[in-house]
Chains A and B, each alone.
Chain A
Amino acid sequence: MRRSHSPRQDSRVATTIDGQGAARTDARVSDVGWNLVFACWLIATASTLGALFFSEVMSLPPCVLCWYQRIFIFPLVLLLPVGLFPFDPKIVRYALPLAVVGWSLAFFHVLLTYGLIPESIRPCTQGVPCALNQIEWFGFVSIPLLSLVAFSVINALLLVTHYKVSR
């Protein structure tokens, strides 16, 4: 009889273990979410500083489409940290609209630079032509392409965060 446990006791033990396990999983999920949003913030901040470097330090004038993309990436630098401290999974809902619109603009801009969009629907004719590549690294990396890559990664990470954390 000494070795046997009462069923009540057993179930209590099981509950405790389950509760700890769930808490541990929750913490791990929230850690993953935090890291993903933090990565988004790193990309947004690097992109913002990079954009400022091109325009303010290298004195390359941003074209109209560049300005619209800036409108959608600059706020992320301030918005994402609000959702990081303390971690709030809802940040995905607030950040995603900006990231999606920014991505669409970047995609449009890249098509424009590759000449895949006809002249007539180009929205920007004043100032710097948007189809003009001011930078070409390794023969194919342009500023619009960098923007598209940044927005794509941010969108992807935000979606992963959404599916991992906020179910």
Chain B
Amino acid sequence: MKRKTLFISAAVALLAAFVVGTLVYQSQKADTAQALARQSLLVRDHAPTVGPAEAKVHIVEFLDPACETCRSFYPFVKRMVAANPGKVRVSVRYAPFHKNSDYVVKVLEATRKQGKYWEALEALFATQSRWAPNHSPDPDLVWRQLEGLGLDLERVRHDMNAPDIARTVAQDIADAKALNVTQTPEFFVNGKPMPSFGYEQLTALVNDALATAYR
């Protein structure tokens, strides 16, 4: 009797281990597939990126040039990249939630064609209160802030209507929607979103990614 009980419970235990193992393995595989799918939405070739391609920590930031919090996060992110030379890179994606923000995004994208993107982004962040008083971007005021960067503004005015820029903006908005980005800035570090919003959370996320990638 004892032997039969032992045998049957062993058989049940082994089968249960097999079933549980199968379920765990499949859910892990599904997680990886989901992470991969998300990665393809997050990382687009068209996104302006700073930092070496071989950097193992990749921050993807969805931002709106007219968003105040994006402006205050900008130097913070920049410092994090500088503090870990060669290990961190940042890509900018757009989530132009403010009215007329898409206009400003197109201007920014057009400055890329003259190799002045980061200068233009910094200039616009620095003067944000001037061209976007009360959170409402005024397209006419934007141009004044870009003077003195050595940009051919006439060319920018022309380039900003290029179809590839329209595609970039449309793609970013679609990806932001698919990734459930509802507020700016939103950061993804190696595909992981912040658990809750804040400087510390972003720092922790980046430090975790650094520790995992460079141990």
Contacts and interface: CB of A to CB of B under 8 A. Distances in A.
Interface of A: 34, 38, 41-42, 45-46, 49, 52-53, 57-58, 81, 84-85, 87
B11 A84 contact: no
Interface stretch (B15-23, B104-112, B125-133): B15-23
B35 interface: no
Given A49-B17, A49-B18, A53-B18, A85 B25 contact: no
Contacts of B4: 85
21 contacts: A34-B3, A38-B3, A38-B6, A38-B10, A41-B7, A45-B10, A45-B11, A46-B14, A49-B14, A49-B15, A49-B17, A52-B18, A53-B18, A53-B21, A53-B25, A58-B25, A81-B7, A84-B3, A84-B7, A85-B3, A87-B3
Nearest to B24: A57
Main secondary structure on B side of the interface with A: helix
B32 interface: no
A84 B26 CA distance: 35
A35 B3 CA distance: 9
Nearest to B15: A49
B22 A57 contact: yes
A46 B6 CA distance: 16
A37 B4 CA distance: 14
Contact of A38 (B7, B14, B17, B18): B7
A42 B15 CA distance: 11
A40 B23 CA distance: 27
The 7 closest A-B pairs by CB, nearest first: A49-B18, A57-B22, A45-B14, A57-B25, A49-B14, A53-B21, A42-B10
A165 to B, nearest CB: 15
Contacts of B6: 38
Q: Most chain-A Cβ atoms within 10 A of its Cβ — which of B7, B15, B25, B26?
A: B7
B22 A85 contact: no
Contacts of A46: 14
Nearest to B10: A42
A52 B3 CA distance: 27
Interface string B142-165: 000000000000000000000000
Nearest to A48: B14
Contacts of B7: 38, 41, 81, 84-85
B11 to A, nearest CB: 7
A104 to B, nearest CB: 26
A46 B15 CA distance: 9
Contacts of A57: 21-22, 25-26
B44 to A, nearest CB: 31
A27 to B, nearest CB: 12
A48 to B, nearest CB: 9
Contacts of A58: 25
